[in-house]
Every structure is written in C-alpha cells, then in structure tokens.
Amino acid sequence: MDLKKLLTAILFLLLFLPAYSQRMAIMGAMDQEISILVEALDKPKVTAIGGIDFYTGQLKEKKVVILKAGIGKVNAAYSTAVLTQNFNLEGLIFTGVAGGLHPEALPGDIVIGTAMVQVDFGLLDSEGFTPWNFKDLSGEPYSELLLNADSSLIQLSLQASKLAEYQLISNRKPRIFQGIISTSDLFVSDPVKADWLYSEFNSLATEMEGAAVAHVCRLLGLPFVVIRSCSDNANTDAHINFNEFVGPAAANSANLVLRMVELMPH
C-alpha cells in the first residue's frame, strides 16, 4: 500500500470509528422516564432514525445512547431492533416505572429485574390461559420461561441502588428488591390479576415493555438489565397512584441508572 492510501485509511478510521465506538444504551418507555438522563447528557446530539430520537453523548463521562421506546411490547421490540441495528452497544439498561406486586413493594421502591417473563404469550382455551415459553425466530421454543438479565449489570444496579439519591414518597426511604419482573400489553389495575402475577410467576413488579426488550437482547446476545420503580400497586387505585407517583418513581429509577453509569469503566 502506498503512503497516500495508508494516510487515507487512517483518516477514515479517525473520522468514523468514534461515531461507531461502543456505547451503553439507556431506554425508557415514556418521556418522564428518560428526561433526567437526557438533561444530564454532556455534548448531547439528537439523531432521528425510524421515528425514534436517539440522544447520544456522555453521561458521567460514559458514552451512552438514550431513547424513548414508546409504551407496550411492540413499540419496545421495534425500538430495540432499530437501536441495535444502528449503534454499537456494550449493553442495554431499561429504566422506568411499574406496578408493584410484592406486598411491600410500595410507590417509589425499586425493583431490579434479575429475570423477565412475558405473561400474555400462550394458549387461551376453555380451561383458561397457559403461558408458553418464548420461541426463537425459527419457531423453536426456548427451554426456559424466564429471560435472565446480565449478572454484571445486576451487580452494578445493586451497588448503585445503595448510592443513588431518591425522592421520598410519604417520607419513606425506598426499599430495594431484586427478582422477576413480568411484562404484558396490559395496564394491570386489578388485585386478583396482581395476585396471580405474584403467585404464578413469582414476579415482584409488572410492566409493559421489559420482556420484549429482553427477548430482542437475547436474540442478539446483548447484555441487559431492567430497573423499575413502583408508580402503583397494580390494584384498583393503580390509575390514581400512577398519575400521582409516576414523577418520583421515574426519577428514582433514572437516578439509580445515573449512579450505575458512574460506576462503570469508561
């Protein structure tokens, strides 16, 4: 190779490699869930792809891309697919709010998802509903119902949960839970359904995106973790509680994620 070609190749790498260097993805479903993080971005840049605004920049000196996925499993899976096809990612953190199912998981509390489960995929017959394991793209079922989060990201979330600044609800310091989080395309506002999700799936909180994101991450081998703070308890008052507590709950989860990226190697 002559010198001119070599210099052109080096120039090309210098120009384009930084744009494609690895980032941590941070995703929420709603504006309230990502706003604190977007505002904390250093040197922010917005790129619109496929109807999604991707905010890139540095968060606590860590390269990140932040996006709002939209509400529900379909939006979440679409957004994860567009994200992963356009950015070079080292992992994905989902941050947001959920309905607490554990009797002591009250508004403002944190649930770190060690595994995700989709609870509206299965067989509906005269006997009722039987959940099915996820199937891969060829149609083969996975052997496990659960989608496991990345163990390093779980550990980091736990560490960060002890350091994060929280907004207190009724003067109560948030409790930190770790365990299964369930996902369906349903806003759960029924104590009987909430009990079923808790006893049948052992899930501590329920929401509308996590398992869809987790499924795409598993297909692509991308490490992920889902962090949620309770906005309500998936009971009759869920709508009222959601409107009252979505702000502080979304902030608690986002502040935990801020601490998390601070603890990550740059």
Contacts to ligand SAH by CB under 6 A: 29-30, 71, 96-99, 187-188, 206-209, 231-232, 234, 238, 242
Structure tokens of 247? 């702000």
The residue (of 53 and 140) whose beta carbon lies closer to ligand SAH is 53
Q: How far is CA 146 from the centre of its chain?
A: 16
The residue (of 30 and 81) whose beta carbon lies closer to ligand SAH is 30
Among this protein's residues, is 39 annotated catalytic?
Answer: no
The residue (of 238 and 264) whose beta carbon lies closer to ligand SAH is 238
The residue (of 99 and 248) whose beta carbon lies closer to ligand SAH is 99
- Taking the complex as a whole, the smallest distance from the CB of residue 144 to ligand SAH amounts, in Å, to 22
- Taking the complex as a whole, the smallest distance from the CB of residue 148 to ligand SAH amounts, in Å, to 20
- Taking the complex as a whole, the smallest distance from the CB of residue 72 to ligand SAH amounts, in Å, to 7
Quick one: which of 149, 161, 115 has its CA closest to 225? 149
Torsion angle of C-alpha atoms 81, 84, 87, 93, degrees rounded to 10: 110
Structure tokens of 1? 């190779």
What is the CB-side half-sphere exposure of residue 195 using CA atoms within 13 A?
4
- Taking the complex as a whole, the smallest distance from the CB of residue 16 to ligand SAH amounts, in Å, to 36
Tell me how long the chain is: 266
Q: Which residue is closest to ligand SAH by CB?
A: 99
Catalytic residue among 109, 150, 207, 232: 232
Among this protein's residues, is 232 annotated catalytic?
Answer: yes
Catalytic residue among 33, 109, 207, 209: 33
Pairing of the two strands 89-100 and 23-28: parallel
- Taking the complex as a whole, the smallest distance from the CB of residue 99 to ligand SAH amounts, in Å, to 3
The residue (of 29 and 38) whose beta carbon lies closer to ligand SAH is 29
- Taking the complex as a whole, the smallest distance from the CB of residue 242 to ligand SAH amounts, in Å, to 5
The residue (of 69 and 156) whose beta carbon lies closer to ligand SAH is 69
Residue numbers annotated as active site: 33, 232
